[in-house]
Structure 1
Amino acid sequence: MRWTLDRLNRLGASEFEAALGDIYENSPWVAHAGAEARPFSTLSALHAALAAQVDGADEAARLALIRAHPSLNAGAFRAAPLSADSGREQAGAGLDSLDDHQAEVLARLNQAYEDKFDMPFVMAVKGHGATSIVAHIEARLNHTFAQEKAAAVAEIHRIAYLRLCDRIEDSL
């Protein structure tokens, strides 16, 4: 369903949370808290308000948000339940049609990443394919834990923005 900002601005808090509670993967608390910042005059203002909730959250909440994201790999795509948004995003990046070698490489890198950081690799995959995703995982494996938490949150904000763009008409 496409929403207008005017309509979102007029919703009650629980309806607002229901409408946007999945923008940040499995973390409706972001939309719940962001509802307080209404009214929004632009999609960018809405995104900034939601992002501010994440950025202002404590460390445990941000880590839980990162861990709420599914792994990016063919095995996860085939076996684990994904949100509708994550399924579309991963399919759009071709992760549902990797050959066995590509799936093995991606699974191995994801495991190395999860072993090092104790969280899934998170990336806004729109516009990327397997080769690009592999390159990003390899590069980010060189990060420190603090760098990677910051990178993961930045990617989560990008994912949220892209999801908002898909759902909201940026006009009142």
Structure 2
Amino acid sequence: MSARADFIAKFGGVFEHSPFIAERAYDAGLILVPLTAKGIHDAFVSIFRKASHEERLGVLRAHPDLAGKLAIAGDLTEDSRQEQAGAGLDRLTAAEHARFTELNNAYTEKFGFPFIIAVKGLDRQDILAAFEKRIHNSAEEEFATATAQVERIALLRLQSMFPEK
């Protein structure tokens, strides 16, 4: 494999199911050696923010519902599975699961993409509280919030790949 292919294989999933971010960053010469979480994140965020509204919306839509159908079926990406499990979303009570399902459906219907939050360091009560608050945002506010959360998730994923001191 080429250096580009190796890079895409390793980092193409940092932005959920959106390898075009890694491809464009690499092709634009934004990836600097030595590779660091911050350096890659800066390059990826630059590309993400320059992407069209439709492309950014596609990145948002690539994220799974929290505690949703993909989680139940075991079809999450490994990163998403670990992130959701770390927040306890794989251990919801029936009532909590019903509330997440209700909120997921209402949120997606209102905004056209799933609720996205960087769950690291949060528990299910924190996530539900954020869900309950953010569902009342305007479409513009929530698009901005969700894209910021996607960038945070990417940083956390990169930091786990590069345990920098």
Aligned mates of 1:110, 1:80 — CA distance in 2: 18
1:151 aligned residue: 145
2:144 maps to a residue whose letter is: A
Bigger relative CO (Cα 8 Å, ≥ 6 apart): 1
Aligned mates of 2:149, 2:46 — CA distance in 1: 14
Structure 2 unaligned spans of 5+: none
Structure 1 unaligned spans of 5+: 1-10
Aligned mates of 1:134, 1:168 — CA distance in 2: 30
Aligned mates of 1:165, 1:67 — CA distance in 2: 23
1:125 aligned residue: 119
1:51 maps to a residue whose letter is: V
2:30 aligned residue: 37
Q: Is the 2:37–2:161 Cα contact (8 Å) retained in structure 1?
A: no
Deviates more, 1:156-165 or 1:42-51: 42-51
Q: Is the 2:67–2:100 Cα contact (8 Å) retained in structure 1?
A: yes
Question: Structure 2 length as normaliser, TM-score?
Answer: 0.92
Aligned mates of 2:142, 2:43 — CA distance in 1: 23
Aligned mates of 2:15, 2:69 — CA distance in 1: 23
Q: Is the 1:77–1:95 Cα contact (8 Å) retained in structure 2?
A: no
2:100 aligned residue: 106
- 1:106 Cα deviation after fit: 1.1
2:71 aligned residue: 77
Q: Percent identity?
A: 35
- 1:80 Cα deviation after fit: 5.5
Aligned mates of 2:141, 2:130 — CA distance in 1: 14
Tell me the alpha carbon deviations over residues 72-122 of structure 1, each in whole angstroms, 9 at most, x when there is no partner. Answer: 025441126100000000011111111101111111111110111111001
Aligned mates of 1:43, 1:76 — CA distance in 2: 28
Tell me the alpha carbon deviations over residues 5-47 of structure 1, each in whole angstroms, 9 at most, x when there is no partner. Answer: xxxxxx7212111110011100011111111212145421221
1:16 aligned residue: 7
Query: Aligned residues, how many?
Result: 161
Q: Is the 1:124–1:156 Cα contact (8 Å) retained in structure 2?
A: yes
Question: Structure 1 length as normaliser, TM-score?
Answer: 0.88
Aligned mates of 2:128, 2:70 — CA distance in 1: 15
1:49-64 maps to which residues of 2 (within 5 A)? 49-64=43-58
Deviates more, 1:143-152 or 1:59-68: 143-152
Q: Is the 2:31–2:39 Cα contact (8 Å) retained in structure 1?
A: no
Aligned mates of 1:132, 1:13 — CA distance in 2: 39
